[in-house]
């Protein structure tokens, strides 16, 4: 599967990430922090823009200093925000406090009354989907109303405009009222999508049995999806299409932290599809981007540029055996 171009509309959140500084500092011992753009959808947009594509975001941010920080960061990275709406009241932007550590890593996520869950069907109706080549969303948008109904409406509108739907499962249990609700909604969303990307735990969750995640990924393709990427951490990934399965490994790296890999993988992978790379090469581009980000501080600022990613691919050994 190839995309017709690299213009993406992304539904999902933008927030703030705090990293205890200097790297390696435990949160409880920190006296200073490094702040950057956060939120999986915004981070995917950064990855795409740094690799030469374009991305517009559909979401809500809080009408306060933290929301304006997110807006300024979107501008800094060149992500279109004409469909980002500021909301007042008690809604607040997401905040993640994330350590640059591997051992005993701690991440603390603040998602109470999240502003991005205030996205409505009017927000997605305002998008001219014909301007884009694909829609991307992450599973978190489905965790609460009115965001859930808005996201499904966005799916319908994008499909009507002929856009492929790309779904990053991105399961975060703390965002959902129950595992049962999440499993039902994820199954509905996955059945509508052309490309589904997730790790073994996330596909296992969708299957209702953590030992049957790969079966679930295969079933999604058998039922109509074009691509399912089943990620297995250090064991690499299995990419499933109607034509067969491709197994790929990972690139060795000196990781500083475990976070950011999924967002950078998605950005590198879809950029590869947009550039017409063969499936295996697109997956490997995503894997290389992920390896680069976990070896750097932050997530959005750690996303590689096109020159950096090309240089990495040229100078690093091929991925480990799948």
Residues 76-99 have a mean pLDDT of: 97
- Give the list of residues 6+ apart from residue 312 with CB closer than 8 angstroms, or none: 251, 288, 291, 292, 304
Question: What is the Cα gyration radius of the chain?
Answer: 18
Phi then psi for residue 272, to 5 deg, are -65, -45
pLDDT of residue 29: 97
* Secondary structure of 43-78 as H, E, C letters: HHHHHHHHCCCEEEEEEEEECCHHHHHHHHHHHHHC
For residue range 132-189, list pLDDT tens digits in order: 999 999 999 999 999 999 999 999 999 999 999 999 999 998 889 998 999 999 999 9
Q: pLDDT for 239-290, tens place per residue?
A: 999 999 999 999 999 999 999 999 999 999 999 999 999 999 999 999 999 9
Q: Are 75 and 81 in contact (CB under 8 A)?
A: yes
Q: What is the pLDDT of residue 322?
A: 47
Q: Where are the domains of the chain?
A: 7-12+40-66+117-311
CA distance 233 to 202: 12
**Helix H or strand E encompassing 259:** none
Beta bridge pairs of residue 122: none
Return the bridge partners of 110, or none: 95
Class of CATH domain 7-12+40-66+117-311: alpha beta
The string of DSSP letters for 102-135 reads STT--EEEE-TTBGGGG--HHHHHT--GGG-SEE
In the predicted structure, residue 52 carries a pLDDT above the cut 60: yes
Q: Is the pLDDT of residue 301 over 80?
A: yes
**Residues 228 and 218: beta-carbon distance below 8 Å:** yes
* Cβ count within 10 A of residue 226: 17
**In angstroms, rounded to a whole number, what is the distance separating the alpha carbons of residues 264 and 141?**
19
Residue 321 pLDDT: 55
Whole-angstrom distance, CA of residue 250 vs CA of residue 236: 5
Confidence of residue 55 (pLDDT cuts 50, 70, 90): very high
The pair of structure tokens assigned to 154 is 């966005």
pLDDT at 316 over 90: no
pTM, two decimal places: 0.97
Is residue 2 predicted with pLDDT exceeding 90?
no
Pairing relationship of beta strands 244-248 and 237-241 according to DSSP bridges: antiparallel
pLDDT tens-digit series, residues 101-139: 999 999 999 999 999 999 999 999 999 999 999 999 999
Per-residue tokens: 292: 């680069």
């Amino acid at each position: 599967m190839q995309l017709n171009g690299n213009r993406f509309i992304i539904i999902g959140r933008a927030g703030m990430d705090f990293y205890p500084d200097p790297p390696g500092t435990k949160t409880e011992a920190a006296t200073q922090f490094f702040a950057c753009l956060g939120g999986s959808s915004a981070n995917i947009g950064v990855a795409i823009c740094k690799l030469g594509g374009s991305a517009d975001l559909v979401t809500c941010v809080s009408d306060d200093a933290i929301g304006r920080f997110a807006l300024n960061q979107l501008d800094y990275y060149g992500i279109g925000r004409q469909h980002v709406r500021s909301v007042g009241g008690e809604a607040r932007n997401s905040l993640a406090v994330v350590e640059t550590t591997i051992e005993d890593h701690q991440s603390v996520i603040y998602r109470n009354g999240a502003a991005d869950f205030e996205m409505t069907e009017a927000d997605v109706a305002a998008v001219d989907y014909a301007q884009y080549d694909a829609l991307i969303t992450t599973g978190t948008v489905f965790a609460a109303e009115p965001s859930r109904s808005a996201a499904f409406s966005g799916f319908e509108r994008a499909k009507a405009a002929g856009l492929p739907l790309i779904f990053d499962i991105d399961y975060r249990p703390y965002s959902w009222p129950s595992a049962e609700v999440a499993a039902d909604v994820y199954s509905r969303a996955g059945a509508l999508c052309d490309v589904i990307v997730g790790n073994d735990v996330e596909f296992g969750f969708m299957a209702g049995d953590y030992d049957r995640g790969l079966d679930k990924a295969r079933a999604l393709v058998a039922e109509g999806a074009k691509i399912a990427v089943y990620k297995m951490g250090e064991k690499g990934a299995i990419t499933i299409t109607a034509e067969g399965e491709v197994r790929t490994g990972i690139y060795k790296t000196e990781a500083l932290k475990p976070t950011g890999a999924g967002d950078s993988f998605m950005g590198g992978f879809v950029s590869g599809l947009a550039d017409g790379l063969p499936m295996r090469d697109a997956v490997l581009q995503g894997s290389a981007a992920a390896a680069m980000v976990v070896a750097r501080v932050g997530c959005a600022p750690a996303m590689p540029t096109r020159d950096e990613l090309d240089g990495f691919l040229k100078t690093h050994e091929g991925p480990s055996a799948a």
